[in-house]
Amino acid sequence: MSGNKAHNWKSSYNSIFDQKLQEIKNEGHYRYFNEIERKAGQYPKALHHKDGKTKEIDVWCSNDYLSMSQNTEVMSAMKNAVDQLGAGSGGTRNISGTTRFHVELEEKIAKLHSKERALAFNSGYSANDSALTSILSAIDNCLVLSDELNHASLIEGIRASKREKVIYKHNDVEHLKAVLKGIPFNRPKMIVLESVYSMEADFAPLKEIVEVAHEHGALIYLDEVHAVGLYGENAAGIAEQEGVADQIDIINGTLAKAFGLAGGYIASSNSIIDFVRSFSKGFIFTTSMCPAVAAGTLKSVETVQDNPEIRSKFFENVKLVKSELEKAGIPFLDSGSHIIPVIIGESKLCRKISDYLLEEHQVYVQPINFPTVPKGTERIRITPTPSHSKEDIKKFVNAITQAWIKFMPKHEQLISSNIQLKK
Ligand SMILES: Cc1ncc(COP(=O)(O)O)c(C=O)c1O
């Protein structure tokens, strides 16, 4: 900052940011947002707006796994709540921002996970970040064991607690055991992991991790963000499906994916929830979720539980998309979950394929690049929903097959000859 001081000092700050942005542009992982306008009641149909033009497209990458954002009962519950209470909550939970819907939602979530109590946050991210920071900060000398592919919200929550952390190899129970070997039983510990890893589409070996935790006296913090609403008899997630929910000390979930709206939560014991409610800055010092969101998510959880056919149709479609991709010779990661990642391995190519699918075939899958996934593992991530019709699936598989032939020539031999491509 010299010379033309009065004139230039602001631009020298901006150049710091511009340089960083240029770096990610050069590397091909600058983020462009596609402007998508979903049409209520017609999902996966949506409008894509670009350069003053509008096209109808099919969305194939939403985390609204069950299309609950467009469920008519959920929409009505939200509209009614606005009519009854107005739009905003009016304050933090402590200062006038707790409505009947917030209370009922937390009761519903606690019941969903068979825990004593639950606490709602404005997002799953802030639930993880705030809860982990406050809980870990309270446990002196706590050692944190964190899966290497944990989500940013978990990583940040652990980091802010300033507790010692050891990263164990992804889903590797033997490595976790090796890390824990020699650590005294009475040193406090917490294992932090996800049940479904959304970019790898794989499941944590939860039963084995529960055993390890037991053996070493470790608490378990489990992020079920990509599992709640989908897995388990009552749609509570993998811990329920595996019969180990009572062994998990803190369960985190979102209301934004399978439940289709926004917001996150933790469910746990009375003591832990009361502690987080009373000490966590990310809970205390923020306006509570809008009452309509609380009412809508409450209705969404109920609707998913009361209508098992929503989930059956969803899993049927996941199976169908996988089998059609297989027939077409498109390789994808398959660990049995509902997410279907197709690895491209290069950020610019990943973007090109996504643009081609959108422009030429009107199907939308967002490229997933660094830092969401490690460099060299860039991918497109396909998420079928119960709303995709057989026709939509056919159109999508045809489009991706053509993209594969055009952009991934060395894989062309994988394309089965009996696939009829529509031009
Ligand atoms: C594993 C995991 N945890 C937490 C979150 C944050 O959830 P939310 O979108 O509700 O903030 C995400 C979001 O994608 C996630 O993938």
> Residue 211: which CATH number?
3.40.640.10
* Closest atom of ligand 1 relative to the 264 alpha carbon: 10
CA distance 321 to 394: 9
**Strand ordering across the sheet containing 363-364:** 35-38, 45-50, 53-59, 363-364
- The CATH number assigned to the domain holding 325 equals 3.90.1150.10
Residues 373 and 279 both lie in one domain: no
Full domain range(s) for residue 315? 27-59+308-414
DSSP type of residue 385: -
The best mutation among 149, 228, 254 to test binding of ligand 1, ranked by most ligand atoms within 8 Å of the C-beta, falls on 254
Q: What is the pLDDT of residue 116?
A: 98
Domain check: are 206 and 298 in the same one? Answer: yes
- Determine the residue type at 12: S
194 lines ligand 1 (CB under 6 A): yes
The DSSP secondary-structure symbol of 147 reads E
Last residue of a domain, one of 264, 291, 306: 306
* DSSP-derived secondary structure for 310-376: HHHHHHHHHHHHHHHHHHHT-----SSSS-EEEE---HHHHHHHHHHHHHHH-EE--EE-TTTS-TT
pLDDT of residue 422: 44
Are 256 and 397 contained in the same domain? no
Res 374: pLDDT: 87
CB 151 within 8 A of CB 158: no
The residue out of 276, 306, 336 marking a domain boundary is 306
Same domain, 256 and 384: no
Asked if residue 1 belongs to a domain, the reply is no
Phi and psi torsions of 77, nearest 5°:
-60, -40
> Looking at the structure, do residues 113 and 150 belong to the same domain, yes or no?
yes
Same domain for 109 and 37? no
Residues designated as active site: 257
Q: Is residue 296 included in any domain, yes or no?
A: yes
Question: 381 CB under 6 A from ligand 1?
Answer: no
Residues 289 and 317 in one domain: no
Q: Are residues 312 and 302 in the same domain?
A: no
Model pTM score? 0.94
- Do 269 and 387 belong to one domain? no
Same domain as 247, residue 396: no
Q: Is 249 in the pocket of ligand 1 (CB under 6 A)?
A: no
Q: Are residues 167 and 53 in the same domain?
A: no
192 in any annotated domain: yes
Q: How far is the centre of ligand 1, averaged over its atoms, from the C-alpha of 279 (Å)? A: 22
Residue 410: predicted pLDDT: 65
Cα(403) to centroid of ligand 1, in Å?
A: 29
Q: Which ligand 1 atom sits closest to the C-alpha of 255?
A: 10
- Would residue 86 count as lying in a domain? yes
End-of-domain residue from the set 306, 336, 370? 306
Residue 422: inside a domain, yes or no? no
pLDDT at 423: 40
Domains in the chain, number: 2
| Confidence at residue 6, expressed as pLDDT on a 0 to 100 scale | 62
Q: Is residue 22 part of a domain?
A: no
User: Coil, helix or strand for 167?
Assistant: strand
| Same structural domain, 48 and 121 | no
β-partners of residue 55 are 48
Residue 341 belongs to some domain of the structure: yes
- The residue nearest atom 10 of ligand 1, judged by CA position, is 124
Low-confidence ranges of the chain (pLDDT < 70): 1-7, 410-423
Record the tokens describing residue 4, joined without a space. Answer: 């033309």
Place of tokens 């009572």: 246
Length of the chain, please?
423
Q: Is 124 in the pocket of ligand 1 (CB under 6 A)?
A: yes
Structure tokens at 87: 């739009």
Establish if 419 belongs to a structural domain. no
Residue with the smallest CA separation from ligand 1 atom 9 is 124
